[in-house]
């Protein structure tokens, strides 16, 4: 699930970066546009190695590192707190927690809080180090608005993906539970046939053998006993075929379940 989620997140991230690039070009943030192009190339490589090379774990680590570096660079190049980069912290946090195990989520939480607060404190104490890059009030409004809209859209897409996956897994689990219950009922039926019908016919045959007069093969009763043994053997054969048929039916139904 985590591998598939990361692949989906990689595509979402690519769409986000591609969608933001025209807005940055329009408002003349060319240095930021170059960074976005670099990130598109890097993110494409992450997706390739995760999807086709099965390098999932290393892709996660590199994705996290690049994400934090990109947030710092964007904050510096895009007007700091006056820009929209603070919104993207929510996206990267949800992306990282969506496809990684719960045990490392505290790491992402800690890093996002520390890096975000550190950047804000840095700008507070050293405001001259963060340049205001917008050439007009309209450019800032467009940049903040577009990033805000993209942030909401991406968060919704991630949440919808996780909910749909949860519903799918819940449905699969219910189907498996139903199949297991049906298998149990059929196995109980087979066990009942074996313990009652088979044993009944076997007991009949054993009892008839005890009555067979082995000291006088010409005893008239032996003929009736042989006929009864044949009849019991025929009935036993029918029961065995019934068990074999139910067993084959059970195996046929097991195949899609295990698949």
pLDDT category of residue 259 using cuts at 50, 70 and 90: very low
**pLDDT band at residue 257 using 50, 70 and 90 as cut-offs:** very low
Residue in the block written with tokens 């997140």: 9
Place of tokens 């994400």: 67
| Sign, CA torsion 228/230/236/239 | negative
Which residues does 202 contact at the CB level (< 8 Å), separation at least 6?
236
Q: What is the pLDDT of residues 112-167, one digit of tens each?
A: 999 999 999 999 998 888 878 888 888 888 888 888 888 888 788 778 877 887 78
Query: Distance between CA 153 and CA 140 in Å, rounded?
Result: 20
Q: Which tokens in the block code for residue 35?
A: 């960074």
Q: What angle do CA 11, 16, 19 make, to 5 degrees?
A: 120
| Residues 105 and 221 placed together within one structural domain of the fold | no
238 in the same domain as 188: yes
Note the pTM of the prediction, 2 decimals. Answer: 0.59
Number of domains in the chain: 2
Please tell me whether residues 115 and 216 are part of one structural domain: no
Whole-Å CA distances, 22 to 136, 138, 150: 17, 15, 13
At residue 195's C-alpha, the angle toward residues 224 and 178, to 5°, is 140
Whether 116 contacts 86, CB under 8 Å: yes
Domain boundary among 135, 167, 188: 135
pLDDT interval class at 172 (50, 70, 90): confident
Specify the residue for token string 């719960």.
102
Res. 7 pLDDT band, cuts 50 70 90: confident
Nearest one of 224, 167, 158, 168 to 15, comparing CA atoms: 158
- Count of H helices and E strands in the chain? 8, 0
In whole angstroms, how large is the CA radius of gyration of the chain? 36
CB atoms within 10 A of CB 191: 11
The domain boundary residue, chosen from 135, 159, 192: 135
Domain co-membership, 60 together with 182? no
The reply to whether 183 and 124 lie within a common domain is: no
Give the long-range contacts of residues 168-171, CB within 8 A, separation 24 or more: 169/1
Domain range enclosing 124: 2-135
Q: Same domain for 129 and 189? A: no
pLDDT in tens, 79-110: 888 888 888 888 888 878 877 778 888 999 99
Residues 123, 193 within the same domain: no
> Looking at per-residue confidence, does 27 or 68 come out higher?
68
Check whether residue 245 and residue 123 sit in a common domain: no
């Amino acid at each position: 699930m985590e591998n598939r989620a990361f692949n989906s997140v990689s595509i979402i991230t690519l769409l986000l970066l591609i969608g933001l690039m025209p807005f940055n070009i329009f408002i003349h943030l060319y240095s930021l546009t170059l960074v976005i192009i670099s990130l598109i190339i890097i993110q494409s490589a992450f997706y390739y190695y995760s999807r086709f090379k099965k390098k999932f774990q290393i892709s996660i680590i590199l994705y996290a590192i690049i994400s934090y570096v990109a947030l710092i660079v964007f904050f510096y190049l895009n007007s700091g707190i006056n820009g929209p980069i603070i919104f993207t912290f929510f996206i990267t946090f949800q992306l990282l927690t969506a496809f990684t195990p719960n045990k490392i989520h505290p790491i992402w939480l800690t890093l996002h809080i520390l890096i975000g607060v550190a950047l804000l404190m840095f700008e507070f104490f050293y405001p001259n180090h963060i340049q205001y890059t917008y050439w007009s009030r309209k450019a800032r409004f467009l940049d903040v608005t577009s990033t805000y809209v993209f942030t909401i859209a991406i968060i919704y897409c991630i949440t919808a993906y996780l909910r749909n996956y949860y519903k799918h897994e819940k449905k699969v689990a219910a189907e498996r539970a139903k199949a297991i219950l049906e298998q149990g009922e059929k196995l109980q039926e087979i066990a009942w046939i074996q313990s009652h019908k088979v044993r009944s016919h076997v007991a009949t045959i054993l009892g008839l053998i005890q009555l067979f007069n082995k000291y006088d093969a010409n005893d008239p009763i032996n003929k009736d006993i042989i006929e009864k043994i044949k009849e019991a053997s025929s009935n036993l054969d029918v029961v065995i075929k019934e068990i074999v048929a139910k067993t084959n039916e059970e195996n046929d139904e097991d195949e899609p379940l295990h698949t």
